[in-house]
Amino acid sequence: MNQVYREEKKFLINIDEFLRKSHQLEQVMAQDEHNGTHGYLIRSLYFDTMYDSDYFEKLAGIETRRKVRLRCYDPDSDYAMLEMKQKKGSSQLKRSLRVSREDAMRMIAGDYTPLLTYPEDFAAEMYAFMMMKCYRPKTIVQYNRKAFIAKENKIRVTFDNQIVSTESSFDLFDPDLNMYPVLDKSKVVLEVKFNGFLLEYIKQMLHSVDKSELSVSKYALARQQSYPME
């Protein structure tokens, strides 16, 4: 099981700003090893309760909340990551467990018993939690990510674009999902994840985007298609 504590800031920027800031970061930070010319694919299947409690708690700004998802980086992958993100204010804890493709598909179908075969305590915790709260698949969100890393303080800066979603199929491994955009294609979500403090050059980079700080998650953006804003 992987466990990561960190703080996170999100900003909404345009494509031109993404290109400028990405070029700046290439000079001072290491690129994620998975970055290609345009980054790499991320696809997540989000789960929620029968009453979409996680979604509505996010909209209400509840200080302590969570998200549960299965994530893969390629539809041909033979595994997925089961993740729980727990957030309190600006701080968050992300725990994750690698599960086989077969077990992920059984979870998507509502069978969480495969989790009882994993030795990690987190697996048993997630089985009990998802059963007790009646978690079910709600939406798939996919996007392209370009990521940069500073080894000092484990800072990670990511740019997410081409964000699309679907609620018509929950097959995480289907290469031909019919998805629709949930954000204007000219917009990019910039995320900065860090422990404790930010390095000065990253603070300077963020200074110009402070007014665009974003509170809505990609999961919430996708679910708004089911609950359109008045």
pLDDT tens figures, 69-91: 999 999 999 999 999 999 877 77
The token pair that represents 180 in the structure block: 């629709």
pLDDT bucket at 92, cuts 50 / 70 / 90: confident
The token pair that represents 174 in the structure block: 């289907």
Specify the pLDDT at position 182: 92
Instruction: Please tell me the distance from the alpha carbon of residue 50 to that of residue 138, in angstroms, as a whole number.
Output: 10
Q: Taking a C-beta distance cutoff of 8 angstroms, is the pair 83, 91 a contact?
A: no
Interval 37-59 mean pLDDT: 94
Specify the pLDDT at position 9: 86
pLDDT bucket at 230, cuts 50 / 70 / 90: very low
Specify the pLDDT at position 225: 75
Specify the pLDDT at position 162: 94
pLDDT tens profile 148-204 = 998 777 789 999 999 999 999 999 999 999 999 999 999 999 999 888 778 888 888
Interval 88-102 mean pLDDT: 89
- Is 90 exceeded by the pLDDT of residue 33? no
Mean pLDDT for the chain? 90
Specify the pLDDT at position 200: 84
Cα torsion 158, 199, 197, 189 to 10°: value is: -20
Q: Which range (16-30, 170-184, 204-218) has the least confidence?
A: 204-218
**CA distance readout (Å), 127 to 58, 68, 71, 116:** 23, 12, 17, 7
